[in-house]
Chain A
Amino acid sequence: NAGVTQTPKFQVLKTGQSMTLQCAQDMNHNSMYWYRQDPGMGLRLIYYSASEGTTDKGEVPNGYNVSRLNKREFSLRLESAAPSQTSVYFCASGSPAAYEQYFGPGTRLTVT
Chain B
Amino acid sequence: DQQVKQNSPSLSVQEGRISILNCDYTNSMFDYFLWYKKYPAEGPTFLISISSIKDKNEDGRFTVFLNKSAKHLSLHIVPSQPGDSAVYFCAASERGSGTYKYIFGTGTRLKVLA
Q: Taking CB as reference atom, which chain B residue is nearest A105?
A: B43
The stretch that binds A, out of B61-69, B75-83, B99-107, is B99-107
Residue interface bits A37-77, CB-to-B below 8 A is 1, else 0: 00011111100101000000011000000000000000000
In the complex the two chains form, is A94's CB within 8 Å of B100's CB?
Answer: yes
B43 A96 Cβ-Cβ under 8 A:
no
Which listed residue, A42, A48, A96, touches B104 by the CB 8 Å rule? A42
Which residues of A sit under 8 angstroms from B41, Cβ to Cβ? 105-106
B49 at the interface (CB under 8 A from A): yes
Chain B nearest CB from A38 CB (Å) reads 10
B59 located at the interface, meaning its Cβ lies under 8 Å from any Cβ of chain A in the complex: no
Q: A58-B101, A104-B43 are known contacts. Are A41 and B95 too (CB-CB below 8 A)?
A: no
Q: Is the CB of A106 within 8 A of B101?
A: no
Q: Which A residue sits closest to B5, measured CB to CB?
A: A42
Most interface-central of B6, B43, B95 (chain A CB within 10 A): B43
From DSSP, what is the main secondary structure of chain A's interface residues? Answer: strand
B32-A42 in contact (CB<8A): no
B79 CB to nearest chain A CB (Å)? 24
Judged by a CB distance under 8 angstroms, whether B7 is at the interface is no
- Complex: A94 Cα to B93 Cα, angstroms: 13
B44 and A45 within 8 A (CB): no
Residues of B near A35 (CB, < 8 A) are 104
**A94: shortest Cβ distance to chain B, in Å?**
7
User: Pick the contact of A43 from B32, B49, B89 — CB < 8 Å?
Assistant: B89
Q: How far is the CA of A31 from the CA of B100 in the complex (A)?
A: 7
In the complex the two chains form, is B104's CB within 8 Å of A44's CB? yes
Beyond known contacts A42-B104, A103-B45, A104-B43: 8 more, CB 8 A cutoff: A40-B9, A43-B44, A45-B101, A45-B102, A99-B34, A99-B95, A103-B43, A106-B43
